[in-house]
């Protein structure tokens, strides 16, 4: 089985804003054999809210966003979260991402805000950039 990871909302939004860069390349690999993503209800709702907030930047309609999220949910490991040990991280709005990663057995959170995940290592989760994820799977 391939490694399971969590993709932070900022990576999804970066990929939707531009087809250049590591975020887009990483998102294009979702559903392939290189890795599996984990999703939870709170993260899906955050994806949806953030993506629908900026149609002028992404060029996507609400229907387009719904289609993307439906695809992600269809290929992801869907994880319920039953423990809430918040706050842990510097930005408490990221705690649900760390909780998902720990509950789903993910060793990695792909994020542009690596510093905000300081302390995640004590839960067996390493926060790295999309570029670092790509390098680790040989997809750079």
Which pLDDT band holds residue 90 (cuts at 50, 70, 90)?
confident
Kindly report the pTM of this predicted structure. Answer: 0.93
Domain boundaries, the chain: 3-136
pLDDT above 90 (res 85): no
Class of the CATH domain delimited by 3-136: alpha beta
- Residue 92 has a pLDDT of 77
Which pLDDT band holds residue 91 (cuts at 50, 70, 90)?
confident
C-alpha torsion 63→34→116→121, nearest 10: 140
- Residue 86 has a pLDDT of 64
54 against 86, higher pLDDT: 54
- Residue 71 has a pLDDT of 98
**Distant-in-sequence, close-in-space partners of 22: CB < 8 Å, separation ≥ 6:** 129, 130, 131, 133, 134, 140
Residue 18 burial (C-beta neighbours within 10 Å; 0-12, 13-18, 19+): exposed
Which pLDDT band holds residue 139 (cuts at 50, 70, 90)?
low
- Residue 138 has a pLDDT of 83
- Residue 1 has a pLDDT of 43
């Amino acid at each position: 089985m391939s490694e399971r990871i969590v993709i932070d909302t900022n990576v999804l939004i970066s990929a939707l804003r531009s087809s250049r860069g590591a975020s887009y390349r990483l998102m294009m690999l979702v559903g392939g054999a290189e890795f599996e993503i984990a999703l939870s209800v709170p993260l899906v709702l955050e994806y949806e809210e953030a993506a629908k907030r900026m149609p002028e930047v992404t060029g996507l309609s609400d229907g387009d966003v719904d289609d993307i999220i439906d695809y992600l949910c269809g290929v992801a490991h869907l994880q319920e979260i039953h423990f809430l040990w918040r706050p842990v991280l510097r930005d408490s709005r990221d705690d649900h991402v760390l909780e998902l990663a720990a509950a789903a057995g993910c060793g990695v959170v792909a994020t542009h805000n690596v510093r905000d995940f300081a302390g995640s290592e004590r839960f067996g989760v390493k926060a790295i950039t999309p570029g670092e994820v790509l390098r680790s799977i040989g997809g750079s």
